[in-house]
Amino acid sequence: MLDDGLKSELSKQGIVTTTFEEIYNWGRKNSIWPLGFGLACCAIEMIAVSMARYDLARFGAEVFRPSPRQADLMIVAGTVTKKMAPQVVRLYNQMPEPKYVIAMGACAISGGPFKQGYNVLKGIDRFIPVDVHIPGCPPRPEALIHAFMTLQEKIGRQKLQGENRAPHTRSDMPSEFEVPQYGAHDLTPTKNTQEWVPPVIVRS
Amino acid sequence: MKSLEEIIKTAGHSLEKAGLELIDNPSPCGERSILVDPSSFLALVELMRDDDEIGIDYLSNVTGVDWPEKIVKEKVKVKEMVDGKEKEVAQTIENNVGGYLEVIYHFYSVQHKSGPWTLRMRTGDREEKVTLPSITPIFQSADFQEREVFDLYGIRFEGHPDLRRIFMWDEFEDYPMRKDYEDPDDYEYEPTPHKKVLVRTQRHYEGNDPGK
């Protein structure tokens, strides 16, 4: 294993050294293909990001895929209603590993301004794991780009070996999550209790 | 433009037992409406459509209202014998006014540039007698809106071609826009609870106050 000092010294002499892990993650993080689906007004900002003015193509992520089978990233852009939640979870389940989720906007992370609505899911992280949350109503395109770069950093840090290796390399980590069913009064179950634990509120 | 009184008068001639009642609106807009007996509702709409002067040709909006049961207090002076003398004593009588559901239709006449013509229908109660005639065979645009009223208020429209829930899923059993609807208990995490949300959150955690 080369240390960073030697690596930098070699690169000054015109010798590029890398590891398999590094080049594998470099390739992955520069070709994140998002799933092309939007739920509400945040989707308009997501579309703006993909177009010429904000140009997500600079990050290698302009290829919005119409099929979950070809997508690496799900951008939950908008209010998730309880009627829509099973479909969102099913789409997530159909994506191949490694897969990532960005919860975009106030609605996707908590229910947002519609939180007390009878038909609004209070955050998509009740059913599927979320990698990056973006606040905003809706978030600026720059915020989504920032989320992308955060996700790229996260992918770049992922290990392929050892204790803390990436979830998609481990067979004991779940890759699919339970799809909620429509019930008489609410979704059943109302949340994935293994995946989502309500955060403890600490007040001074 | 005919006034609502004239409509009631004309309708009274041609419709037997029309059961029409003018409802005043005390708010600044002062938009009045006609309360129609469900049995003569379709006939009245057809009459207003075919009338040369009214000629409604556009159904703008269908909506519902839930009127829950309420207790109306009334003060009545009653004569009673007190200490051998007759005296007037004020008594409060509580009247239980039964609840009902209401549908409101807003019609316009595009050809005469008049409207809205507001018609109302009421159900017998909130549980059993919730069937009202559907206007969809006359005005196609009522289709989705009557489904919405059915979905959210639970009013059944007789004669509707496809009466299903439109927003909620088919397995859903409640009517969310009714006053006594209680939303599902998913109050596990409320970072800034206040008022009703605080009450619900406290109830969720049963005394374990998350607001402090």
Q: Token match 């089978």: residue?
A: A69
Residue of A nearest to B168 (CA): A83
Distances (CA, A) of A45 to A50, A122, B206: 9, 21, 41
Residues B202, B157 share a domain: no
Tally of structural domains, chain B: 2
The CA distance from A197 to the nearest CA of chain B, in Å, is 9
Check: CB of residue B136 under 8 Å from CB of residue B159. yes
Residues B187, B110 share a domain: no
Residues B115, B51 share a domain: yes
Phi, psi of A31 (to 5 degrees): -145, 55
Residues B108, B38 share a domain: yes
Task: With a cut of 70, list the residues of chain B below it in pLDDT.
Answer: 1, 16-18, 207-212
The CA distance from A24 to the nearest CA of chain B, in Å, is 39
- B186:A190 CB<8 A: yes
Residues of chain A with C-beta less than 8 angstroms from the C-beta of B186:
122, 186, 190-191
Residues B112, B50 share a domain: yes
Q: What is the pLDDT along chain A (204 residues), one digit of tens a residue?
A: 678 888 889 989 998 888 899 899 999 999 999 998 899 999 999 999 999 999 999 998 888 999 999 999 999 999 999 999 999 999 999 999 899 999 999 999 998 899 888 899 999 999 999 999 999 999 999 999 999 999 999 999 999 988 888 888 888 888 899 999 999 999 988 888 888 888 887 776
B119 in any annotated domain: yes
User: Which of B151, B166, B169 is the best mutation test for A, with the most CBs of A within 10 A?
Assistant: B169
- A184:B191 CB<8 A: no
CATH number where B22 lies: 3.30.460.80
B139 in any annotated domain: yes
B79 in any annotated domain: no
Of A157, A64, A152, A24, which is closest to residue A100 (Cα–Cα)? A152
Residues B198, B107 share a domain: no
Residues B190, B127 share a domain: no
- Counting one residue from chain A and one from chain B, the pairs whose CB atoms sit within 8 A come to 41
The token pair at B178 is: 């009714």
What's residue B212's pLDDT?
45
pLDDT per residue as tens digits for the range B48-107: 898 888 889 999 999 999 999 888 888 887 777 777 777 777 888 888 888 899 999 999
Residues B107, B54 share a domain: yes
- A118:B171 CB<8 A: no
**Runs of H (alpha helix) within chain B:** 4-14, 41-50, 142-153, 195-204
Residue B121: half-sphere exposure toward Cβ, Cα within 13 Å: 27
B93 in any annotated domain: no
Residues B191, B157 share a domain: no
Residues of B with CB under 8 A from a CB of A: 167-174, 176, 181, 183-184, 186, 188-189, 191, 196-197, 210, 212
Residues of chain B with C-beta less than 8 angstroms from the C-beta of A119:
167-168, 176
Residues of chain B with C-beta less than 8 angstroms from the C-beta of A184:
171-174
B198 in any annotated domain: yes
B84 in any annotated domain: no
Residues B114, B47 share a domain: yes
User: Which of B151, B166, B186 is the best mutation test for A, with the most CBs of A within 10 A?
Assistant: B186
Predicted TM-score (pTM) of this structure: 0.84
Residues B110, B207 share a domain: no
Distances (CA, A) of B160 to B39, B44, B164, B166: 16, 18, 10, 14
A108: helix, coil or strand? helix
**Runs of H (alpha helix) within B51-194:** 142-153
- B188:A198 CB<8 A: yes
The token pair at A141 is: 């395109």
What's residue A4's pLDDT?
83
- B188:A191 CB<8 A: yes
The CA distance from A88 to the nearest CA of chain B, in Å, is 16
B162 in any annotated domain: yes
B82 in any annotated domain: no
Residues of A with CB under 8 A from a CB of B: 83, 116, 118-119, 122, 182-186, 190-191, 198-199, 201, 203
- B184:A186 CB<8 A: yes
What's residue B196's pLDDT?
86
- Domain interval for residue B25: 4-67+100-172
Residues B124, B212 share a domain: no
